[in-house]
A = this chain, B = another copy of it.
């Protein structure tokens, strides 16, 4: 168990455009900040930066809204083309009520607006989630490992709302080089009793810790979490998706 964790925001990461080499951008920003990756570091990168670099953006002027999108947008003062993008990014609508759309994306994430977002994006555009966040994480991990020569993990994160609790928290969409779930089942507690059900989503807690230094205005889309090296290993963000069959809230 780590007893000391550190989280560093990486300043000076430039705006990403389609085709940007994220590993190079991240590496150069680290160099400018005199930050050096260490073995076991987890690099957390905001989905928005990844989506921009991968061209996961939609120009709203190109979108012809469906009747459903148009009616919903008119009813709640939304942009009809943006609603249409949300519907296209969805494989199932979980809730559509009071102007809010909670959708299951084609990947299987359940989140507001199917991850479609207009903040920190040029006017007239929206970002969508990366097509394959685990692959995005793996590419960045490979590039950073090559540059730094050390074994690190990468988490592609986004802020999601939750039922029952106010506010959003950062969670891990894509994961490379990290076991996202710490499984304590079978270990003994302080009373010598075997723990039955405790699986902790450490990748989400790492993403949340990173968010504390990242800031919503997006000047700081990359953070380094140091001290979580015990969880490095094989894993993916898809391991954090609860299968529909064992979920009581689909």
Q: B-contacting residues of A (Cβ < 8 Å)?
A: 1-9, 11, 15, 95, 97-98, 100, 102, 109-110, 118-123, 159, 162-171, 180-182, 184, 187-191, 193, 195-196, 198-202, 204-206, 208-209, 211-220, 227-228, 239-242, 247-250
Contact = CB atoms under 8 A, between A and B. Distances in A.
Contact of A239 (B3, B166, B208): B166
Contacts of A5: 6-7, 209, 212-213
A4 B7 contact: yes
A209 B214 CA distance: 14
A168 B198 contact: yes
Contacts of A7: 4-7, 209, 227
A174 B146 CA distance: 44
Copies in the complex: 2
Given A3-B8, A159-B200, A201-B168, A216 B190 contact: no
B190 A15 contact: yes
A4 B184 CA distance: 29
18 contacts: A4-B213, A100-B248, A102-B248, A120-B189, A120-B191, A120-B193, A164-B241, A165-B204, A166-B239, A167-B199, A167-B200, A168-B199, A187-B216, A188-B217, A189-B216, A190-B218, A190-B219, A200-B211
A250 B209 CA distance: 28
A228 B164 CA distance: 24
A176 to B, nearest CB: 18
Contacts of A11: 3
Contacts of A188: 217
Given A168-B201, A198-B119, A163 B209 contact: no
